[in-house]
Structure 1
Amino acid sequence: MSVVFVSGHKNPDTDSICSAIAYADLKRKADKIDAIPVRLGPINRETQFVLNYFNVKEPLLIDNVFTQVGDIAYDKPLTISEKAPMYEAWNVLLNNNSKTIVVVDDENKLKGIATMGDLAKAYLTSSQELSNYNIPVENITKTLNGKIIVKNKEFIRGDIIVAAMQTESVVSRIKSGMTLIVGNRENIQLESIRKGAKTIIITGGEEPSNAVINEAKKFSSTLIVVPCDTFDTIKLINQCLPVSLIMIKDDIVTFKDSDYIDDVRQTMLKYRYRNFPVVDDDGKILGLLARRHILDYDRKKIILVDHNELSQAVDGIEDATILEIIDHHRIGGIETNQPILFRNQPVGCSSTIINKIYEERGITPDKHIAGLMCAAILSDTLVFKSPTCTPEDIRAAKKLSEIAGIDIESFGKKMFEAGTSLKGKTVDEIFYMDFKEFLIGDFKIGIGQVNTLSSIGNLKNDLLKFMEEERKNKNFDMLLLMLTDIINEGSLFLFAGNHKDLLERAFNISIDDNNFYLPYVISRKKQVVPPIAKAINSN
């Protein structure tokens, strides 16, 4: 079963985090989906208080959902030891109807690649150069199903001669260090050992006499008996070469599970290789990746909660498969390739909608999940003071508070006290605590919101300076920061940009400086974005 990420928006707030956790829990229970809640940024103080209160871990942090090598079903590799004979590699390829085998060491680390073509080429050329190679004795016994009678060396090396002539002719050709392939001809075996032949391969399966064995020991020769006849032994001897001698080992292009498919595609265009090894961080082989794998593949699967705009979604969302959207904001233009479940309701909090889905599915959330959803509703509705709050939010919060065993007023006060402290925070952290980007007409507007129970004092000028720098660096037409007083129900606005006239029309006020106060305005979604959009669209 593939993983499904459940993600809130960038610069996550309490609703974004808690809704992701709660909805992932519901999908696992109701639909048996491997749903994992994720976050797109750091946890703010309010949300951290909530998670700590209910003893819930932070969701996994991700920065994008671009498809990676690890997301697609590449081929499992055929592997073979670097010490194995060519013959074994050839048979593995034939038996698996494959054209590529991966050569590995004893720790399964990539050492090289061998293809059917490489093996065929080596078979045709190695017979002429066999004396240049060290052939492991073990490979001879493995390939020829042989038996070692006397062993003095781990390898054989040197010219190979076949005893297909009269004794005198064969012996006259023997030189020190040679390998002799011979049948059951004791006289040739003895004379060859005495003339310096270091390996005697006896064909036909008949073991040598004691005299031959004794001479081999005396002259430090190796005796091997194989069941094959002489003709087959000659055919197979060069297939005893270790595959490491013929494999491709230089300039191998490899990928890792973490590599992005777009980068892989660009790399593949530069090379004409059939297969590319996939390795882990230690160089151990994981699989083989071919061009066909990146033509049609499963993309990362994701469910969006508490947002539905591209500018607020995780990077790479266009490359992912969106399965569902659960949201309570305006519809902001995300397109999908197929129909999906899109549940958008005009309530004060995404968790209110998720609670309703729990009820529709006949599932009672666990105590800690109920607590998270209740906290999200209290946060988004400012304990029912926000104009976005609906009777459904109040009903859901009261029900969930009973399951979680919390008092709404007491818990809400503690949560906001934990979340509104600005002590120790930089202007960057304050501005981006709860920031959202909006594309309205031709305008790119960013609006941050901070709930605070105290005056910002000298921070105002520092914030305005920072906002103007951010506006220029990131090409915003206008940036606003709402400093919302939850108790007195109003917001001080700081703004950067050259559109003061637009704000004056939007809120029907006069503005003398780069800040203004709006009583009873505490909702970005319902009281700030709509009038700004109306002012822009009326131009």
Structure 2
Amino acid sequence: MDDKRLIYICGHQFPDTDSVVSAIAYAHLKQRKGINAVACRLGPINAETAFVLERFGIRKPILLKDARATLEEIEMDDVVSVRIHTTIKEAMELMSETGTRTLAVVNEKNQLLGVVTNSNLAYVAIGDTAHTIKMLQQTPVENIAKSIEGKIVYAPLDFKFNGKVSIVAIASTKLQNYELSGRLVVIGNDTDSQIEAINRGAACIVTVWTKEIAPEVIEMAKEHNCAIIMSEHGSLNTSRYIFFAPSVDKVMSSDPIYFNKSEFIDDAADRMLKTRYRSYPVVDDQNRIYGFVSRFHVLNSKNKRVILVDHNEYSQSVVGIEEAEVLEVIDHHRIGDVSTAKPIYFRNEIIGSTASIVAKMYEEAGEQIPKDIAGLLLAAMISDTLNLKSPTTTPQDLKIAEKLCQISEINRDDFAREMFEITSSIGNKSYEEIINQDIKSFNLSGHNVVIGQVVVYEFDEVNNILDEFTDAMDQYVKVNKIDLLTIVFTSIVDNGSIILAAGEMKKAVHDAFPNREGERYSFFSDVVSRKNQIVPKLSYALSQYKTSK
């Protein structure tokens, strides 16, 4: 993995402790190896996971909402920005210096007001004269002086310029053939001619090849509200540069097509196809300029790079996972439907938790597990195996847990009791929160099946809510349009489960786990594993039910 782009490591939707911890620990291992990886979660963390993270002083992973790449994740052109009072000449020089063809016009907060392109500036030079005159009418003396690198000798408070420019060539007729009223007059160093131009109503005289202005000219200018500027250039360049004195707000595109940096690349590409601009501004949520993106950038962009932990089914993964580049899968569940365009590292083991696999990978990489990470991994193993009492527990899990206890300096049984007693209570949760706290989606025999597991310390608090809870399950099925919802209440103390079902296919659950005669909610002793005990039997029952139909 010599690509330095960020790698997102994420567990499944409705993340549980094993999913979250495995992402955190594996991202840490990747970082140790110099790989740019970050742990993610796909939803809110449950109470148990929150307790575990707080217990070891670890921040919760970032929330990943979509696996599709966004504009902020791809390369784009740097921003060259100007303010609205920047002169056209300054903008042209900036384009020449930086090689950019588009400037962002921003305010004092760096928020986008518009863009100036080569085409905008070219129109000043070759466009309609009337348009240029109109722009110059609104151009202050300061901009004119700046554009010709001139010195302001006098600037009236009430500057009235009609936008027209006269370049005076002195002949025997002097200024008799010129209409100068309200105009800017480019004139030489002849004092008499300067005074005459002012008397004839010039709004501004711009002198060339002049080292100083006579006092009487300045006095005359003050009397007639005529600006005086001494240019640093000759007549030709002075007259040329004056036309570039207006500010960029007079030529900018004030309503450009732009994108937010969090927009998906595919969506941006679709909008680009409908237009023909060279580049498009990209802004953040506060409309501050972020960059410029072009078709080139979009065509050469790459998808998000993702590593999946604790799942390998699209239905359980992040939105848009089909568009991402899946690099690895680390899991201990059945093999699902994830497919890739090229070979990847796929590690699937018969073991109690994904955290167990990640702990092994530290050892295989020759990396020492830090104390806090060891505590996290141990907590995930305890959570996923009910403190190593689940039938999914293997001899490997027992050895790994013992080593993690030594590193973290934690007594496993004491910590498990503390963790489950604090986090297994359902008394303060709504029924929807209870349903959602640890659910996984499956496609079993063509049916949309959701299976949730709620670990409680003992059944006392569950028995009193079962009737109302099944009604809430019926409503959940209707709202979410699923074929079957199964909720498994598992008691740590009693080492068994009560299994509830709702939806059109709930008969399959009753076939797989029939209630005893006379009981509505039977207790199934030693049934504690969703992965090894619930899903396989339910999958078989659904296949039989489908066939029998």
TM-score by length of 1: 0.92
- 2:528 is matched with 522
- 2:60 is matched with 58
Q: Cα deviations across residues 483-506 of structure 1 (Å, max 9, x unaligned)? A: 112222211111123446544554
2:247 maps to 1:245? no
2:80 maps to 1:78? yes
Pick the aligned partner of 2:13 from 10, 14, 22: 10
- 2:168 is matched with 163
- 1:496 is matched with 502
- 5+ residue gaps, structure 1, are none
Shift of 1:348: 0.2
Q: Matches of residues 407-418 of structure 1 in structure 2 within 5 Å?
A: 407-418=411-422
Shift of 1:225: 1.8
- 2:232 is matched with 227
**What is the identity, as a one-letter code, of the residue corresponding to 1:335?**
S
2:217 maps to 1:215? no
Q: Cα deviations across residues 111-157 of structure 1 (Å, max 9, x unaligned)? A: 22222222222222354455432223333333222222333358661
**What is the identity, as a one-letter code, of the residue corresponding to 1:348?**
G
Q: Distance in 1 between matches of 2:160 and 2:340?
A: 65
- 1:268 is matched with 272
Q: Distance in 2 between matches of 1:2 and 1:154?
A: 58
Counting aligned pairs with the same residue, the percent is 36
- 1:281 is matched with 285
Q: Matches of residues 373-412 of structure 1 in structure 2 within 5 Å?
A: 373-412=377-416
Q: Distance in 1 between matches of 2:521 and 2:276?
A: 61
2:151 maps to 1:147? yes
Shift of 1:357: 0.7
- Between stretches 132-141 and 451-460, larger displacement belongs to 132-141
Q: Distance in 1 between matches of 2:326 and 2:517?
A: 43
- 2:47 is matched with 45
Shift of 1:25: 1.4
- Between stretches 485-494 and 521-530, larger displacement belongs to 485-494
Q: Is the 8 A contact 2:150 2:230 kept in 1?
A: yes
Q: Is the 8 A contact 1:299 1:320 kept in 2?
A: yes
Q: Quick one: structure 1 residues 449 and 219, their matched pair in 2 at CA, closer, same or farther if it must change by over 3 Å?
A: same
Q: Is the 8 A contact 1:431 1:463 kept in 2?
A: no
Q: Quick one: structure 1 residues 104 and 422, their matched pair in 2 at CA, closer, same or farther if it must change by over 3 Å?
A: closer
- Between stretches 131-140 and 436-445, larger displacement belongs to 131-140
- 2:336 is matched with 332
Q: Cα deviations across residues 352-408 of structure 1 (Å, max 9, x unaligned)? A: 111111111121122111101011111111122111001111111111111111111
Q: Quick one: structure 1 residues 131 and 44, their matched pair in 2 at CA, closer, same or farther if it must change by over 3 Å?
A: closer
TM-score by length of 2: 0.91
**What is the identity, as a one-letter code, of the residue corresponding to 1:381?**
T
**What is the identity, as a one-letter code, of the residue corresponding to 2:326?**
I
Specify the SS of the correspondent of 1:135: coil
Shift of 1:99: 3.0
2:486 maps to 1:480? yes
- 1:352 is matched with 356
2:323 maps to 1:316? no
Q: Is the 8 A contact 2:158 2:225 kept in 1?
A: no
- Between stretches 52-61 and 512-521, larger displacement belongs to 512-521
Shift of 1:508: 7.7
**What is the identity, as a one-letter code, of the residue corresponding to 2:463?**
G
Q: Cα deviations across residues 293-326 of structure 1 (Å, max 9, x unaligned)? A: 3233122222211111111111121222222211
Q: Quick one: structure 1 residues 56 and 511, their matched pair in 2 at CA, closer, same or farther if it must change by over 3 Å?
A: farther
Q: Is the 8 A contact 1:135 1:155 kept in 2?
A: no
Q: Is the 8 A contact 1:5 1:302 kept in 2?
A: yes
- 2:24 is matched with 21
Q: Quick one: structure 1 residues 19 and 155, their matched pair in 2 at CA, closer, same or farther if it must change by over 3 Å?
A: farther
Specify the SS of the correspondent of 2:58: coil
- 1:431 is matched with 435
Q: Distance in 1 between matches of 2:359 and 2:483?
A: 38
- 2:467 is matched with 461
**What is the identity, as a one-letter code, of the residue corresponding to 1:101?**
L
Q: Is the 8 A contact 2:174 2:193 kept in 1?
A: no
Q: Distance in 2 between matches of 1:511 and 1:290?
A: 69
Q: Quick one: structure 1 residues 142 and 67, their matched pair in 2 at CA, closer, same or farther if it must change by over 3 Å?
A: same
**What is the identity, as a one-letter code, of the residue corresponding to 2:148?**
L
Q: Quick one: structure 1 residues 292 and 510, their matched pair in 2 at CA, closer, same or farther if it must change by over 3 Å?
A: farther
Q: Quick one: structure 1 residues 177 and 510, their matched pair in 2 at CA, closer, same or farther if it must change by over 3 Å?
A: same
Q: Distance in 1 between matches of 2:210 and 2:446?
A: 88
Q: Distance in 1 between matches of 2:108 and 2:540?
A: 69
Shift of 1:171: 4.5
- 2:446 is matched with 442
Specify the SS of the correspondent of 1:38: strand
- Between stretches 319-328 and 210-219, larger displacement belongs to 210-219
Shift of 1:108: 2.7
Q: Cα deviations across residues 513-536 of structure 1 (Å, max 9, x unaligned)? A: 764432211111011112222344
**What is the identity, as a one-letter code, of the residue corresponding to 1:302?**
V
